A and B are shown apart, each in its own frame.
Chain A
Amino acid sequence: MESQRNNHTAWRICCTLAVVILCLAFSPLFIPAGQHAPLLLGLPYALWTGIALCVLMVVITYVATLVHPGNTSR
């Protein structure tokens, strides 16, 4: 029962994180108009932050699958 409640909380946190990250992804924080600095390994800002954001989203999605309320249902 306790673990089920924890899973539910974790699931909600994952959903909130995903929504916040995706909203920020299209804001000037990640895609500032006409700006390519700071670079990382030579990659322009919007590109390397975009890649990092995608990796983070895959990780969040993975965690979300572990704590999903319907994880065990067939």
Chain B
Amino acid sequence: MLQSLLIVGCIYLALLIGVSVWQRRLRTNSKDYFLAGGSLPTVLGLFTFAATLFSTFTLLGMPDLFRVHGIGAWHFLAVSDMALIFGVIWIGYHFRKVALKQGFWGMAGFLNQRYGNRLAGGVAFFGVFVFLIPYVAIQIKGVSDFVAHAFPDLLPGWGWSVLMVAVMLLYSELGGLKAIVYNDAIQGLVLLVVIWIVGISCVREVGGLEAGYASLIERQPALASVPGPRGLFTPQFLIGSMVAILLIPFTQPQVSIRLAIMRDNRSMYRMAVGVGTFAILVILPTAFIGLYGSLRYPELTAFEFLTQALIHDQPATLAAFVLIGLLAAAISTADSQIFALGTELRSILNIQDDRRLTRITKIGIGVFALIALAFSVVSSDQLALLARTSFAGTSLLAPLIFVAVFGRRGAGSRLLPLVTLAGILVFVGSLFGWIPEHLLGLRLDLLLLVLLALVAVGIGLLDEGEEEAAQTN
């Protein structure tokens, strides 16, 4: 097993570094480095978008969600992803129209330009920093702990974390976003192939789908319906998750930058349809692995179940591919997020010298990676639920972003950024237990989003009224 892992791992590492060095040679300016040249074709866009979106929590979190909370996990992620792809073609068109006209270097910088003040970009950067760093950290931690659990004698959990961050930094610093995009394509394919092989083997082990679900209904019928045995998948939880996931392409910078750098609108539309298909293909086998876990390992902890199902119950070579697939999934999302944080920082810095700006951004990327690494040591292992918290947190930026996309330049002024900042702080307060998670019978994240949306609509209407009055005068 160890031998297989070393061989597959070395091939994978050589591919990553090779692609980065190749892209480094082709690079001519900072637009190539930070925006991958700004002209992604459909297929490359599809894989980088998918690899960034489907991270460790798809491969580790989703099978466990299916195992513990039942089939409602499908609606939690797959149905929500369908809302996301439609949102990409519906809102993405307007976003690109406005953003590309003024030269897009990052969402925070875009907001600064549209709002006409630096507060808007500052709030956006604060929001993504606060909610992305923990998300990066839980992915690093999730995979590191898993690999350490599978190979207790090889390296401790933190050792795998350091190794992952080092690889991530090495190839992203070498090749920039283009290298990340090409590596995402490799990682997305590895993830898809590996998860299907494991999924099919799990279905075989339970005697086929019909027999498997018949046993499940007989033993634990609550897992075969919604809201699941622990009542997690309530309509409110699912709708809240759907809204948060639907907004990801605009509120999480590692995804929004991929919309901005597509070659043209048509490439973006095709990419969205491809991502929808990819979502169904990548989530379906996690349901099969979850079914296998519900029947075979209902009593185990998440890590024990995953180690059994993904490693010990698989042939050695496949298990090695699973581990590499897991590392790939974590790295492909984490590197995009860290790199996007760097790009966001670059977009709000007021420095004219491009070389100096690039140097500071690269240092920023390194610092963000170290912060995420430190945070990974102390974060919890509830992968899927912490990922949802990150989505819900960044979704609070949506009204701020949508006013910038759909409103007039300068609409929203300083009021909306300030209200958004207050909303983010209240949500963070609820995560620390200082504020209740439910108010007026609603989940706080949903309530805050509704309130911020109302403020944004109010500002939009007032602005329209002022514009009409100015035209009349």
Contacts and interface: CB of A to CB of B under 8 A. Distances in A.
Interface stretch (B79-87, B159-167, B248-256, B304-312): B79-87
A31 B75 contact: yes
Interface residues of A, number: 40
Contacts of A27: 235
Residue among A46, A60, A72 with most chain B CB within 10 A: A46
B214 interface: yes
B225 A34 contact: yes
Nearest to B267: A74
B231 to A, nearest CB: 10
Interface in B17-33: none
A51 B82 CA distance: 11
A13 interface: no
B277 A58 contact: yes
B355 interface: no
A41 B209 contact: yes
B265 A74 contact: yes
B264 interface: yes
B397 interface: no
Contact of A42 (B71, B211, B287): B211
B193 interface: no
B227 to A, nearest CB: 6
B224 A44 contact: yes
B198 interface: no
Interface of B is mostly: helix
A25 B75 contact: yes
A38 to B, nearest CB: 12
Interface residues of B, number: 47
B74 A47 contact: yes
A70 B295 CA distance: 49
Interface in B211-252: 211-214, 217, 221-222, 224-227, 233, 235, 238-239, 242
A61 interface: yes
Given A42-B213, A61-B273, A74-B264, A26 B242 contact: yes
Contacts of B85: 57-58, 61
Contacts of B326: none
B276 interface: yes
A71 B269 contact: yes
Nearest to B71: A47
Contact of B265 (A18, A35, A43, A70): A70
Contacts of B82: 22, 53-54, 57-58, 61
B333 to A, nearest CB: 22
A50 to B, nearest CB: 4
Residue among B89, B211, B212 with most chain A CB within 10 A: B89
A68 interface: yes
Residue among B81, B226, B238 with most chain A CB within 10 A: B226
A33 to B, nearest CB: 6
B264 A42 contact: no
B86 A57 contact: yes
Contact of B79 (A15, A25, A43, A74): A25
Nearest to B227: A33
B190 interface: no
Given A31-B235, A58-B273, A61-B85, A43 B213 contact: yes
A42 B224 contact: no
A4 interface: no
Interface string A9-41: 000000100100010011100111111100101
A53 to B, nearest CB: 6
Contact of A50 (B74, B213, B242): B74
Interface in B142-174: none
Contacts of B89: 61, 64-65, 68
Contact of A68 (B93, B221, B276): B93
Contacts of B81: 54
B279 A15 contact: no
Contact of B72 (A18, A46, A61): A46
27 contacts: A15-B90, A22-B82, A26-B242, A31-B72, A31-B233, A32-B225, A34-B226, A36-B217, A41-B209, A41-B210, A42-B211, A44-B217, A44-B225, A46-B71, A46-B75, A47-B71, A51-B74, A54-B81, A54-B82, A54-B276, A57-B85, A61-B273, A70-B97, A71-B269, A72-B266, A73-B265, A74-B264
Interface of B: 71-72, 74-75, 78-79, 81-83, 85-86, 89-90, 93, 97, 208-214, 217, 221-222, 224-227, 233, 235, 238-239, 242, 264-266, 269-270, 272-273, 276-277, 279-280, 284, 287
Closest 8 CB pairs of A and B: A42-B210, A65-B269, A57-B82, A44-B224, A36-B224, A58-B276, A31-B226, A74-B264
Given A26-B75, A51-B78, 4 more contacts: A31-B226, A44-B224, A50-B71, A51-B284
Interface of A: 15, 18, 22, 25-27, 30-36, 39, 41-47, 50-51, 53-55, 57-58, 60-62, 64-65, 68-74
